[in-house]
A and B are shown apart, each in its own frame.
Chain A
């Protein structure tokens, strides 16, 4: 059986976080009773005139610059015609031959090191309404339409067919999401549909130059379904070819419940969108000064920030990548390091205990009750030997639930580490007297017995004894 290579290109739709829709002043607020966030423009009533929301163009440029795209000098909107009731006009306003941006790229980390993935284009368009089916899609005789989302601004970002595995596709989306979140133009919530993804996928015998016949998979609304559906489709295509079959160019949908991709055979397959320039919207000449202003207002992006963390803080690349994955986590880290300049210790606590507690309680870093300055003071207490590392974990959990600062918790609960030699000696003597067996073992050369004795002393001190001193004093006594 020949080796096959997978070729994937992704189309990502991202909802922009503007207040009003792209061509009218209806709200973009999520939810809302059906058909209440609408006006004559987004309902496509006769005689209305759409006007472009300037913020949408600004956000599109902002995202495009963060993705290393070239911004067009001249751009326009076109009508994409199709007969489907998710749009009341029977066309969607999108961009065809003169998109706002082209020729970008982003970098992903693969097994074989970092790789640049090309971005073909980025364009603006309006979102569609939602179709609601009563009962199951096959039994209901009609569909219900809610136009609240119709006209919400989107950018569509089309990649080159540069991705070579489902895992690389996942990496690409995660990186894209991280970058866009940094720019602040979208909240990129896959589960709420503000980041959606379609995939073009084909396989070809290893070494072949051209591309195999591709299929398009729609309806990918989580990282998990992206990975699973692409893996399924790779296998399906290879199996089909191995059995002497051929791949049909078609759109397939991911069935999450069955774990398979299914063909969407319908007349809609006859893609013939008959794009034409929208005569209601006038062209845009993008002012270079405007583009420069937007470029200057971009924050430090994940890749640069990651590099800086390795150089400036001496962190391992792994830590740096995780900390800089979201702007909020990186900001938290930096405030903390400012107050307690021990980057690796701060990184360990953030990536370890803090992340664990955030995940288990389903919280975001922005809602975290532990202020970064408070985490810094906890670390200072550990470093000064005021509390033991073990006690610190309990204090940390208390801080996480109550939001109180470390010092007051330590004081109130009497958790100060015992570093007074005479106090520790008293406990050590008691433990030695109670455990003649392990004492003899240790004297007979069994090092492990010491660990047991240390544990007993720590237990007797309720975890408050300074472990280093316990170790030292035990050795001296023995």
Chain B
């Protein structure tokens, strides 16, 4: 496999590796980490190409209208530290990398997300019809956030004190794009439990994009959201931990990661639309438990079950955790039969205290 350093998406059959990942690998002095990662990436290339060929065959096409796009159409804009969206166009699909690392990372991250959706699930972009992907970088001044405005992704530079540039983490880019996927499918209401599910789905697919890009199995993955995003002076590894919610950071300025990991610690609050970024820890951990129980690549079975529920048409916009959980049990049965997968789904929800019986 050829590792490209410009973050471009090689036509049709190539694994993309975000530049920050390459950068990280190349800078890694620890051969125990760097070498296996490179070997995994290389070995994974062929398998992934085969998987992709299978997935592409499953992409629905409309005769007479033309095939659904199997390549992304990304356009990146630069807000120049202003707040007018989308800003100045700086990189269109197929354009050479710019001198701006934020632009190139966002371009690569959107490509990585497109790649996972297509290769693993046979879906062309977030709407299933090849919807162009739009991102804006350098939004606001020292802006400590990234968001999805319903039509595009927006990334701030961070203040350098608490947060770094929000494009540094591919899972954060994929998280934002996954909000678009949810909007075009179950459209989970961004409030209370349905809002926490909306958040969790974005963390799940954010992490899956990272794992897929790195060729990591469930055991190898760090299951962190926003690793590398916290400034060096902050005591913490990331913003959230799917594996152990509540342990991502503990800092004198940021405070302690408040996420619960089971229903016993569910947080009732008016803030943050009912704690959508807090209670998402519960379904996040359920996904981690399932993925690690099944082993292997998380995006294959665990990810497929979550994807089936999100896109299957039965999940309602105001779904609670229990409805989502029941649907994952049904989806596991539908796709894999009365097998290990279904049992593992039941066990994962049981461990976080979400009922799966009506």
Bind each other = no
Question: Which residues of B are at the interface with A, using a C-beta cutoff of 8 A?
Answer: none
